[in-house]
Amino acid sequence: MSKSILVGLLVAFLLVGVVPATAQVIQQGGIGDPLTLAASGVVIPFYTNNGFVSTIQVASPVSDNPNAHMFFFDATCARLPISVGIPLTTNDIAFQQIGSDQGGPVTSGLNGLVTLAGASQSGFDLVPLTNPVHVRMYVFNATSAFSRVIEPIIINTAEFPSLAHWWSPLRTGATFFAPLQSDLTHIKTDLYLICPENSIEGGPGAAFGQDTGGGDLSFTTTGFPQINPRFPAVSTGHQTNAIRVRIYDTNEIFKRDFTIDCDCVIQYLKIADTINPFYKDPVEAALGTYTELTSAPGGTARTTFTGYTDTYNENNGANHFFGRLQNGSQLSIDGTLTSTR
């Protein structure tokens, strides 16, 4: 089957049932299954802007987690002045709304990150979980009937504790496909990037502890595995030009090369408008585009990130193709190495 037919089928699904819109070089590969048991802690994004509701689900299938606790950060990775306990018994499952208009702890309209682990005796610090957990985030919009399920970023797995499988799925590279962005068919793609900073781990007072300077294999001051490459300092501000973007057409012909920002939790809604107009070029991008995202070249450290794309018809609330970016290390995606992040 030709590429044009396959892309046509995908676009056809997005056009079905159209209705008026109602709303709008480190050995740490990070390839562990994000849905496996999280051994010590979890990071997961939430979204409460544009009418979205976020609900975190936590299950404790192995044994008790009486001190399970959550810290919250806004979209710039600044710590919010609230934390919530979510104690669990064996085979327990618990839910917590995030936005304040649904009874949650975070002011509605914000996006950000949740860090979940155990609470220290003081209650002011996170320590590794007593027992492994499963976590996911449900995000939905009651007006448009749009919903998505977001998988967790686990620090280390309980079943496969090799360092090479920690911090899944944070990597230094990723790829995605987007069909032609069109104002005629109303087909659009949004890009969501997650680029944690050292308020999550590594910096003073970080949720998962401070970097001890012990090298690539070290643990933090509170006993969590240290991320490599290290998260950048929040004090440096916006991660300007942190991600390199290379766009190809579906015939493998290279088209564009530029950089974009990646600041903790960032959204590029309608990528032809917010990233590059090439995504809506009716001649050169007629069958869509293939994009590679990697750490920007020339920096002193690689950017560790993950993200999601959402392809949809902006006049149709029924069909959304939402999913996590296909990821890999920067060097492996560049074709120069296959064994590092």
Contact assessment for residue 243 and residue 284, using Cβ atoms and an 8 Å cutoff: no
Q: Are residues 184 and 301 in the same domain?
A: yes
- Banded pLDDT at 24 (limits 50, 70, 90): very low
Q: Are residues 135 and 244 in the same domain?
A: no
269-309 residue pLDDT tens: 999 999 999 999 999 999 999 999 998 776 556 788 999 99
Q: Are residues 101 and 130 in the same domain?
A: yes
CATH number at residue 91: 2.60.290
Q: Are residues 63 and 155 in the same domain?
A: yes
Q: Are residues 272 and 251 in the same domain?
A: yes
15 has a pLDDT exceeding 70: no
Q: Are residues 246 and 152 in the same domain?
A: no
65-81 residue pLDDT tens: 999 999 999 999 999 99
Write down the pLDDT at residue 17.
52
Write down the pLDDT at residue 307.
95
Nearest of 137, 109, 116 to residue 46 by alpha carbon:
137
Average pLDDT over residues 105-120: 96
Strand order through the sheet with 289-295: 254-260, 243-249, 289-295, 173-178, 326-328
Q: Tokens 């504790």 belong to which residue?
A: 161
6 has a pLDDT exceeding 80: no
191 has a pLDDT exceeding 50: yes
Residue 108 and residue 197: Cα distance in Å, rounded? Answer: 22
- DSSP letters of 119-173? EPTTSSSEE--SS-BEEEEEEEETTTTEEEEE--EESSBSS---GGG-SBT-BSE
